[in-house]
Structure 1
Amino acid sequence: MENVIGRLEEKKILNRIMFSGDAELVAIYGRRRVGKTFLIRETFRKEIVFDFVGIHGANMSQQLENFSVSLQKASNTSVPLMRPANWIQAFNQLETFLTPRLRKRKAVIFFDEFPWINSPRSGFLETFAHFWNNWCVNQKNLIVVICGSAAAWMIKHVINNKGGLHNRISQKLHLMPFTLAETEAYLQSRHVNLDRYQILQIYMAIGGIPQYLKNIKPGQSAVNAINELCFTKNGLLRGEFSNLYQSLFDKADHHINIIKTLASNKSGLTRNEIISACNLSSGGTTSKIMEELIESGFITQYVPFKKDVRESIYKVTDEFSLFYLKFMTGRSATAKDTWDKMSGSPSWRAWSGYAFESICLKHVEQIKRALGIPAVLTQESAWRYVPGKGEDGAQIDLLIDRQDNCINICEMKYSTAEFTIDPAYAKELRNKVAVFRSKTKTRKTLFVTMITTHGVKKNQNYLGLVQQDLTMDTFFS
């Protein structure tokens, strides 16, 4: 595992599985290019004896042909194997291949892009369940790993399976994008030495996706890297947005429509507001689409303070999707200095604040550590009050409601230098605190907590108003 950056919890789990005395069925899922395959192949590099990758859009015959080729490679023979006529024959061949190997040592078989293998009317999933229940479960030296980018499919058909795989998964892993700390470590491992402000800029544009970060070269600045990846003719991410959604979801147009709608509403939308804005029905199809977007990590559901889950607010939390829709959509490949010019525009300044808020929401555990409350039970939420006539409204994007009778009202501000609280913003902060206390009737102690890139200037508007002040370094811990 020495080549795997970060992923500390996942590595701990996989190491435990390695030394298990029982047959193990592991399901790993997460969005495209997040590093699932790399993690498994590096972790079980010496133990994998059969590695099979599904083909997107292929029919049963093509998948079986691919299976036969994979088994031939695993058998280390130049003689082509007989292509199985169906999945029953395929798994019988696999049993024959595995039996002598399992007598000698621990062995891993890896099914990558598992949902793609399950072509319509192929019977693959049912046969795989039979293969596990009737043979694999008795093989003490066997680890079966199934992996898929279609997270919602994996959860519905594998983890929450109601048929032959019901309660059969011994370990599930939802692999998330790198945190900022993991991103910094990954870039350094590739000899890309940037300061944290530059890393933050990259993260705001493309997120913590290893396959994206892999293409940043030593000596490139954040501006250079983003420009090359996103705005040049051969940039890796030129066609990524469409490819990303089309590869994960059937009939992805509805998914993309929801993403576009949410991306244009900074404060997020409720489910009913999404349905209205996107002209969707209120039935199960919409619920399925929303679940798929959440499980794949593109949107996040936030339950407002002291509200019911039915009043949840949804926001886009995939950095690349937000960046693409704001700056890349409809733009053809242009000059090499495109992003250099755009990154200083008023449009960028407005977007950067939104992107920074999203990153803060993803790093709440780091924020809690910096506040000195890592062990305190908390509930994180957003809150907004839409004013009636003659009233003041207020919106708070992050509340940390603590069991120790305190609440952190977090204000998140992106700036290129030290942030200054002017009289107008100080008045706005005081109004937020007053409206929040008045409308929620809370008796807890309220702490105004500033989270900024480079800190907050300690002027007269800061003193007596702000209790805690965190910088972007918080996210790299």
Structure 2
Amino acid sequence: MSETIIGREAEKKILREVLESKEAELVAIVGRPRIGKTFLIRNYFEKELLFQFAGASGKNLKTQLSNFSAALQMAMKLSVPIAPPNSWHDAFIILSRFLEENLNGEPKVILFDEFPWIHTPKSGFLSAFAHWWNTWASRKSTLKVIICGSAASWMIRNVLYDRGGLHNRVSQTIRLYPFNLKETQQYLISRGIILDPMQLLKIYMALGGIPHYLKKIEIGQSSNQIIDHLFFEKDGALRKEFEVLYQSLFNNAGKHEAIVKELSKKQIGMSRSELISKLNFTTGGTTTQIFDELEESGFITYYLPFGKANRVGIYKLTDEYSIFYLRFVQGRRATGRETWHKIAESQSYVSWCGFVFEAICQKHVAQIKQALGISGIYTEESTWRYVAKQGETGAQIDLLLDRKDHSINVCEIKFSKNEFTIDKDYAGEIDREIQIFKDQTGTKKTIFPTMITTFGTKLNINYTGRITSEVVMEDLFK
């Protein structure tokens, strides 16, 4: 019996259209490891799934072909093993014979999981697959072929933008992203775990919306207990995840990890040139590919600043798990039960909360716009910073919503354990930042100072007449 699929409404709509299509379909699904690609396909197509085969990381051609024959044996429900084919060309001939016998007028689905791993050096897999699709599979109107890959940039480069046999062959593409806060809440509720929004937010700040990580949460634990159990106990399930995550996803992952680690030190982000200079990288195509791979896989995000003519953006580390691991787990000698309880009382914890809450808000712009009542207005989202020259004062704005109705919401994002209070000094800082923003950008649009906080902002003399709107934590769960 299939498990309930939480969220993924847009993705399920695409899959429903694929199933109802009167033509053969080639669907590519990309997303980082542990995101739920396989789960989605196996559960949505539970009745239609006829054959599935998964590539094995780092294994040679002989092993991949052996695994293929084992998968085919399982699909055919045979007790006697099938002799492994000699090549992928032969493998697809065998697969075609099996499918021919089972295509009976009803839609049937076959799944190639971890597609990039199947294409080992000199294996000829990709060309054999393209030939099979073009000459046989594409002519079977009830056949729906799904290919999944964690290496998003490889999938884009070698499948979606392929200039050879797969050029323009993919009929549907699904980019699977981590759960948002609402979906995380729904997922945990489906597993009998009911927590208040602040507890959920703290979990999300450490784990992100990765279903595989969330699945490891046990009933009856607080957020502190959950983080302690997963990261700091001896056999914590996520304690060593970082060590294998990047190595399993990228070839020669050392440079990928170097970028991630450097960005973890810079909350405001860094430009490409700053990172290249700091890490002594070259400026060639290999470096560009590394940035693309990290961005396509969802570990880093590229932000274009507001109003710059040359639009030179900055990269930020936006993967919650990596941020948490590098800040609190890597290199830590003191571990064991209640380690996180002690860390959560430190100043480093307070700083981390502000950093990650800001990143989470930037991922929930749709919910912020809904809370502000501007969902129907076109906006461009960006951050903004002004690096002061000698004798000047710099400024940074967490989030700008540049609206088509000649207005801009200038958002201040603050994480606090209780209602946030704007004191005289902070009020002056808000005024100064907005004035510098106006002076440096020359904008003539109406500015709406907006507070985004966990528990709201206290109404006092510094709020009234200065802040025009606000969003609270619970709005992010809608």
TM-score (norm 2): 0.98
- Asked if 1:20 is matched to 2:24, the reply is no
- TM superposition shift of 1:467: 0.7
Matched residue, 1:76: 77
Preserved contact between residue 368 and residue 374 of structure 1 (Cα < 8 Å): yes
Matched residue, 1:90: 91
Matched residue, 2:392: 391
SS at match of 2:192: coil
The residue type equivalent to 1:286 in the other structure is T
Matched residue, 2:436: 435
- TM superposition shift of 1:333: 6.8
CA–CA distance in 2 between the matches of 1:16 and 1:426?
A: 52
The residue type equivalent to 1:270 in the other structure is S
Matched residue, 1:279: 280
- TM superposition shift of 1:278: 1.0
Preserved contact between residue 305 and residue 311 of structure 2 (Cα < 8 Å): no
- TM superposition shift of 1:32: 0.6
Q: In the TM superposition, what whole-angstrom CA distance separates every residue of 1:216-273 from its partner, at most 9, and x where no partner exists?
A: 1111100000110010111110110121100110000000000011110111011100
Preserved contact between residue 232 and residue 333 of structure 1 (Cα < 8 Å): no
- Asked if 1:204 is matched to 2:195, the reply is no
- TM superposition shift of 1:378: 0.7
- Mapping for residues 66-465 of structure 1, pairs under 5 Å: 66-308=67-309, 311-332=312-333, 334-465=335-466
Matched residue, 2:40: 39
Q: In the TM superposition, what whole-angstrom CA distance separates every residue of 1:404-442 from its partner, at most 9, and x where no partner exists?
A: 000000110000110011111111000011001111111
Preserved contact between residue 233 and residue 333 of structure 1 (Cα < 8 Å): no
Preserved contact between residue 451 and residue 470 of structure 2 (Cα < 8 Å): yes
CA–CA distance in 2 between the matches of 1:79 and 1:388?
A: 76
CA–CA distance in 2 between the matches of 1:211 and 1:308?
A: 42
Aligned residues, how many? 477
Q: In the TM superposition, what whole-angstrom CA distance separates every residue of 1:90-121 from its partner, at most 9, and x where no partner exists?
A: 00000000002113421101000110000100
CA–CA distance in 1 between the matches of 2:264 and 2:311?
A: 21
Change (3 A) 1:333 1:209: farther
Q: In the TM superposition, what whole-angstrom CA distance separates every residue of 1:186-219 from its partner, at most 9, and x where no partner exists?
A: 0000010100000000000110000111111111
Preserved contact between residue 50 and residue 71 of structure 1 (Cα < 8 Å): yes
Preserved contact between residue 413 and residue 453 of structure 1 (Cα < 8 Å): yes
CA–CA distance in 1 between the matches of 2:214 and 2:100?
A: 41
The residue type equivalent to 1:389 in the other structure is Q
CA–CA distance in 2 between the matches of 1:332 and 1:238?
A: 13
Preserved contact between residue 31 and residue 177 of structure 2 (Cα < 8 Å): yes
> Alignment identity in percent?
53
- TM superposition shift of 1:334: 2.1
CA–CA distance in 2 between the matches of 1:294 and 1:209?
A: 16
The two structures, once aligned, show a CA RMSD in angstroms of 1.0
CA–CA distance in 2 between the matches of 1:365 and 1:307?
A: 24
> Which stretch shifts more, 333-342 or 352-361?
333-342
Preserved contact between residue 114 and residue 148 of structure 2 (Cα < 8 Å): yes
Change (3 A) 1:171 1:238: same
CA–CA distance in 1 between the matches of 2:310 and 2:50?
A: 46
CA–CA distance in 2 between the matches of 1:333 and 1:67?
A: 45
> Which stretch shifts more, 309-318 or 118-127?
309-318
- TM superposition shift of 1:83: 1.2
Q: In the TM superposition, what whole-angstrom CA distance separates every residue of 1:339-375 from its partner, at most 9, and x where no partner exists?
A: 0111111110011100000000000011111111111
CA–CA distance in 2 between the matches of 1:285 and 1:451?
A: 39
> Which stretch shifts more, 236-245 or 389-398?
389-398
The residue type equivalent to 1:172 in the other structure is T
TM-score (norm 1): 0.99
Matched residue, 1:8: 9
> Which stretch shifts more, 89-98 or 234-243?
234-243
Preserved contact between residue 421 and residue 462 of structure 1 (Cα < 8 Å): yes
CA–CA distance in 2 between the matches of 1:65 and 1:197?
A: 49
Q: In the TM superposition, what whole-angstrom CA distance separates every residue of 1:292-314 from its partner, at most 9, and x where no partner exists?
A: 00000000000000125651111
Preserved contact between residue 303 and residue 309 of structure 1 (Cα < 8 Å): no
SS at match of 2:397: strand
- TM superposition shift of 1:389: 2.3
- TM superposition shift of 1:335: 2.3
- Gapped runs of 5+ residues in structure 2? none
- Gapped runs of 5+ residues in structure 1? none
CA–CA distance in 1 between the matches of 2:251 and 2:378?
A: 39
CA–CA distance in 1 between the matches of 2:371 and 2:454?
A: 14
Preserved contact between residue 30 and residue 151 of structure 1 (Cα < 8 Å): yes
- TM superposition shift of 1:125: 0.4
CA–CA distance in 1 between the matches of 2:105 and 2:413?
A: 57
CA–CA distance in 2 between the matches of 1:309 and 1:331?
A: 42
